[in-house]
Amino acid sequence: MVKKIAITNEIRKLRFFANEMTQQQLAESVGVSRQTIMAIEAGKYSPSLELAFRIAEVFNVKINEVFDYEGKGDR
């Protein structure tokens, strides 16, 4: 069985460095609710690839600078 991996993210940090962007502002930019941004930040929801790219685009960084996963090289 394939081991489940935990997705981590740097959204909180990136928001802080983007003029202290609020969760609401980020949610508006990517077209989701604030609840979803909160869930992603807390690691309670892994976004779709499309949403992940949109989030990265808002911060003008590559996707792997926003999202990462724990347990690299385990398999």
Q: Which is nearer to other proteins, 16 or 42 (CB)?
A: 42
- 13 is written with which tokens? 């940090």
Selected binder of other proteins within 39, 41, 61, 63 (CB under 8 A): 39
Residue 34 lies near other proteins (rule: CB under 8 A)? yes
Q: How far is CA 53 from CA 12, 30, 31, 73, 74, in A?
A: 16, 10, 13, 23, 25
CB of 46 to other proteins, least distance (A): 6
The amino acid that residue 38 corresponds to is M
> Among residues 24 and 64, whose Cβ is nearest to other proteins?
24
